Chains A and B, each alone.
Chain A
Amino acid sequence: METFLFITTAIVAVGAALAMVLSSNAVHSALFLILNFCSVAILYFLLRAPFLGAVQVTVYAGAIMVLFLFVIMLLGAENAELGEEKIGWQKPAGLILGVALLAEIGYVAYRGTKLIDAPVADATNIGAPTTISAKLFSTYLLPFEVISILLLIAVVGTVVLTRRRVVAREERQS
């Protein structure tokens, strides 16, 4: 049963990811990406990490993609033509990074199941919210707080950047 579920979900996930890249309509791409996020969430459930799965759906498929769709719809950018490339080194850089990622995946696959063996043993309860929260607020408290500060900086940075543009425009007008 679990293998069957895994194979179906994995096919859907890979298919959705491919369709997302290949689709020419931005809204369709966004929808395929949501499908991909949801199938990855099911994979988390299969790995007995229900918390992670639910957060995946809430945060990625729910919050972030709604914003994406909102922006696409608002700008009417669903059928944007591929314009002149502004950054010349974009394509070679993408190629290099892609190859690096492939090499990484290949290395992990070559190392095989040895990497995965260890944590599975006591994994039955590891994904429960209480276990995660207990770990997060004791052992990993410092990284947790550092990340929250990082996010706060990002938010403040966004506000500063957009405000500066608004102020500049107002100065030009006056």
Chain B
Amino acid sequence: MQDRSLWVMIIHAVVLAFAALTSFAYLTLMERKVLARLQHRVGPNQAGPNGYLQPLADAVKLMFKEDIMPSTADKWVFTIAPILATIPAIVIFAVIPLGPDLVVFGERIPLAFASLNIGLLYFLAVTSIGVYGITLAGWASNNKYSMLGGVRSAAQMISYELAFGLSVLVPVMLTASRSADGFGSLDLVQMVNAQAGTWLGFIPKWFVFTPTGFVAFFLFLIAATAEVTRAPFDLVEAEQELVGGYATEYSSMKFALFFMAEYMKLIAMSGFAATMFLGGWRFPYLEDIAGNWGALVGFVVIAAKIFFFLFLSIWVRASLPRIRYDKLMDFGWKRLLPVSLATVVATAVIVVLTNPL
């Protein structure tokens, strides 16, 4: 455990949670605006200057809507499901290193809230728990469309979790190739530290610029998109075939919570992609700045990287049509899984050959 006082940790956690919630609110605005531009529309521009108060208006609207409970629903599970979807999406932020240590009033605050030696496993555990929210929502609604959405989500998560877990293994092994004792690390802070420095003075030593890391990066992006059920893998809530999918029966804040969970998971996945493959808060030469300015620059760098992934996700949503269900399964099991297995094996061979123990 870090040697921080309880109060510092509590304040840190609250700030982190609020930052995540605010970025979620503005991500919805960003998504609507960018989608609108990509489709040659203007997008929301009425609430506040240039539409920047739209998320606030949305929140107020959702809060004052009637909360409807379907008469045939399983009351308990129906209520718990949105909570089960949201909590993992928030707690996942704890292990993302957002920058080097910050010193405030003599207190040393690591911008990685929790530097766990099982950080990556924590990440996998929390994402795997996140499935229940959607699946249970589909079941508890007692509606065939919701049910189909829930069953689809469970099947999709199981199919893509394997490729997801395997692609995450590659950075772990690459960390091993750069550590002094030959051990890899599941700690994301150490993973970021292993990506310090440059090749030839200008290519950053990020894992994405290693041969197998490059492949694993794209595998991770595809599998992560499927895990957060974003387009083109959003069969869980396919409007054209399933009405609203798992969220059909939900209204008011319960409905908002599902959206919150989805977008926060998207932000978290972007953060992990940036951390594991793009060097986290590190950027050649900017990472050498010491002190609080270094922490600030580090935070700006990782924020920019997360922003890049968010934009990419919206871009993909605007460009690609939804995949058919059987093709989704075929792609997950017959293409993605073998390729990720081969990547893991190739990485292991390269790491062992280049680092004789």
Contacts and interface: CB of A to CB of B under 8 A. Distances in A.
Secondary structure type dominating chain B contacts: helix
A55 B122 CA distance: 9
Interface residues of A, number: 28
Please list the 8 inter-chain residue pairs (A to B) with the smallest Cβ-Cβ separation, ordered nearest first: A62-B128, A54-B121, A57-B125, A58-B125, A70-B154, A54-B118, A50-B118, A130-B183
Interface string A4-36: 000000000000000000000101100100100
A61 B125 CA distance: 9
Contact of B129 (A57, A74, A128): A57
Interface string B104-139: 000000000000111001101110110110011011
- Which of A34, A51, A62, A73 has the largest count of B CB atoms less than 10 A from its CB? A62
A55 to B, nearest CB: 7
B147 interface: yes
A61 B129 CA distance: 7
A23 B38 CA distance: 51
Contacts of B136: 27, 31, 69
Interface in B125-173: 125-126, 128-129, 131-132, 135-136, 138-139, 147, 150-151, 154-155, 157-158, 161
B118 A70 contact: no
15 contacts: A31-B77, A50-B118, A53-B118, A54-B122, A54-B125, A58-B125, A62-B128, A62-B129, A63-B128, A66-B132, A66-B135, A69-B154, A73-B139, A73-B150, A128-B117
Contacts of A55: 121
The size class of the interface chain B forms with chain A is 20 to 34
B186 interface: yes
A73 B132 contact: no
Secondary structure type dominating chain A contacts: helix
Interface of A: 25, 27-28, 31, 34, 38, 50-51, 53-55, 57-58, 61-63, 66-67, 69-70, 73-74, 78, 128-130, 133-134
B134 to A, nearest CB: 11
Contacts of A78: 139
A46 to B, nearest CB: 13
Given A54-B121, A57-B129, A73 B147 contact: yes
A134 B154 CA distance: 35
Contact of A129 (B74, B132, B147, B186): B186
Contacts of A34: 132
Given A70-B158, A73-B135, A73-B151, 14 more contacts: A27-B74, A38-B129, A54-B121, A54-B122, A57-B126, A57-B128, A57-B129, A61-B125, A62-B131, A62-B161, A66-B157, A70-B151, A70-B154, A129-B121
Contacts of B154: 66, 69-70, 73
A58 B147 contact: no
A38 to B, nearest CB: 8
Nearest to B140: A27
A58 B128 CA distance: 6
- Which of A34, A53, A70 has the largest count of B CB atoms less than 10 A from its CB? A70
Contacts of B118: 50-51, 53-54, 129
B226 to A, nearest CB: 15
Contacts of B150: 73
A73 B144 CA distance: 11
A5 to B, nearest CB: 14
